[in-house]
Amino acid sequence: MALQADIVQLPANEYSKKVETYQKFYPYLKDALGAFDGTHIAAHGPSSGVTSHHNRKTQVSQNIFTAYTFDMYFSYVLGGWKGSAHDSDVFQDPRSKGSEIPEGKYYVGDAE
């Protein structure tokens, strides 16, 4: 934990000034903290239990959830979910562990 405190800097829960430079999108993104998305990372492991890690494309993977600011800094990374896990389950995980989005703020994400 001591090393983490020296290296990891948590972002403030406020929007990026960079959003203001996108005048076309600013009215829609003025309260957005950033964006989030999930991605699949190829995984390898022992043949026993690997079936639950098959994603919808039948590849063995881990489902990784990331949230990032418009300044391109990661504000949250969650890895280790099985490739077969649905994105909505992975999205609910940080919320179930106490991560809160401040009132009146939001993250942009896709529907899939």
pTM (2 d.p.): 0.66
Residue of higher predicted confidence among 6 and 103: 103
pLDDT for residue 15? 58
Three-state secondary structure call for residue 78:
strand
Mean pLDDT of the 3-19 span: 63
pLDDT for residue 47? 67
pLDDT digits (tens, 9 = 90+) for 73-111: 888 888 777 777 777 777 778 777 777 788 888 888 877
**In the chain, domain spans:** 33-100
Mean pLDDT of the 61-73 span: 82
Tokens 């960079």 sit at which residue? 18
- In degrees, rounded to 5, the angle at the alpha carbon of residue 112 between the alpha carbons of residues 25 and 14 is 40
Contact yes or no for 78/64 (Cβ under 8 A): yes
Contact yes or no for 80/86 (Cβ under 8 A): no
